[in-house]
């Protein structure tokens, strides 16, 4: 499975993102293409976990035309933060934009954690991890998402451990945290 897709991606490779350091300070700006070809620089990303009223979490399978980790499963919504969004409020607006783009929804989300992941095989990412609760309705963007469903995360973790499901690298790290701290969202939802 290829981790990076530069040939038939539907993602805009000229889209600009801020380069950030380990303290989440902006130190430059680069195109999406530059981030994909230079694994030493780090950018911000918003990852949104959505739980339904049955306690399961919505996951998406990324489409075959995504630039990073196509066909892999991940959190409900994720996307890189556009250049210039630097405050927590502006980054939250970027996360809400992703909710609208990928699922055609507007729902309340809360920042759970900011996690630096500088050593990913796909390049460094400063993750803004959000959590929310909704049952939809959803209209998944077919260019971005090939499948969308609710899952028990313990089952997903077991499938991952058995190499029976391909997960996005950042989701594996976040899911590992969740498995170790299964009640971490209780006060937020």
Sign of the Cα pseudo-torsion (44, 79, 49, 163, in order): negative
Q: CB 119: neighbour CB atoms within 10 A?
A: 9
Per-residue pLDDT, 158: 97
Domain holding 129: CATH number?
Answer: 3.90.79.10
Q: Is residue 3 part of a domain?
A: no
Report which of 34, 20, 37, 49 is spatially closest to residue 117, judged by C-alpha positions.
20
Domains held by the chain: number:
1
Per-residue pLDDT, 5: 65
174 vs 179: CA distance, rounded Å: 9
Supply the range of the domain harboring residue 154.
16-180
55-111 confidence digits (pLDDT tens) = 999 999 999 988 789 999 999 999 999 999 989 999 999 999 999 999 999 999 999
Q: Please compute the mean of the pLDDT values over residues 168-188 and round it to a whole number.
A: 95
Q: Is residue 54 part of a domain?
A: yes
Instruction: Output the pTM of the full model.
Output: 0.94
Report which of 176, 73, 170 is spatially closest to residue 126, judged by C-alpha positions.
170
95-127 confidence digits (pLDDT tens) = 999 999 999 999 999 999 999 999 998 889 999
């Amino acid at each position: 499975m290829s981790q990076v897709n530069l040939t038939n991606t539907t993602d805009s490779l000229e889209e600009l993102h801020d380069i950030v350091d380990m303290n989440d300070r902006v130190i430059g700006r680069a195109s999406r293409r530059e981030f994909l070809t230079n694994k030493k620089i780090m950018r911000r990303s918003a990852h949104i976990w959505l739980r339904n009223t049955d306690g399961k979490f919505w996951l998406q399978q990324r489409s075959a035309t995504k630039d990073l980790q196509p066909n892999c499963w991940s959190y409900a919504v994720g996307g890189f933060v556009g250049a210039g969004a630097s405050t927590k409020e502006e980054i939250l607006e970027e996360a809400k934009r992703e909710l609208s783009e990928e699922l055609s929804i507007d729902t309340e989300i809360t920042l759970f954690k900011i996690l630096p992941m500088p050593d990913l095989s796909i390049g460094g990412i400063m993750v803004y991890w959000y959590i929310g609760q909704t049952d939809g309705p959803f209209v998944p963007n077919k260019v971005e998402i090939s499948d969308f469903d609710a899952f028990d995360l313990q089952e997903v973790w077991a499938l991952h451990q058995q190499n029976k499901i391909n997960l996005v690298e950042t989701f594996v790290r976040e899911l590992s945290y969740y498995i170790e701290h299964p009640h971490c969202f209780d006060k937020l939802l």
